[in-house]
Every structure is written in C-alpha cells, then in structure tokens.
Amino acid sequence: MTEPALGPEARNGLDEKPESSPRNFIDECRAMAKDRKLPLVDHFAHWTKAEAEGTKIADWTTDQCTPIPRPSRHGDLMLPVVLKAIREKRQ
C-alpha cells in the first residue's frame, strides 16, 4: 500500500517542511504491485484526488501525516483489496 498524502503543514522530526510525500517510494510500490501482480491499496491516490476535489486532507490526520480512521476511510479502502486477495487465494 502507498502512504497517504501529507497535509499542507506537515513537518518532519526536525520541524522542517518536507518537500513532498516520498514520490519515489509511492512509484516503486505501484510498479512492484503491477510487475508482481499484487493487490495494491493506493492511499496516496485517494488522498490526492480528495484534496483536488476540495477536501482539506489535514482534517483527516492527527498531525498532517497520521491518518484518523474516519474520515480518511483508510480501512474502507483496504478491506475490499484484502477480501479480494483472500477470495483469489482460495480459488
């Protein structure tokens, strides 16, 4: 799974504003899932789309980084992917 997008006021452990979410990591997660035909929960895509549609994603976090279960829908995005993988494994 990819990590969620960062809120606009996110800070790292040194209280510095990160340039952006680690895009290389996110791109590698997507590429690995595709290459190995693995299920992927793409939180970053969900958060980025929500932000583009006007959602204040900072409201989905405790600290501009850590998701709150609601309203970020973290679990809601994961459950269908996990259930599908289980069903496919049983076949």
| pLDDT level of residue 11 (50, 70, 90 thresholds) | confident
| pLDDT level of residue 42 (50, 70, 90 thresholds) | very high
Phi-psi sector, 26: left (phi>0), alpha (psi -120 to 50), beta: alpha
Q: How many CA atoms lie within 13 A of 63 on its CB side?
A: 7
The pTM of this model reads: 0.78
* Residue keyed to tokens 């895509």: 45
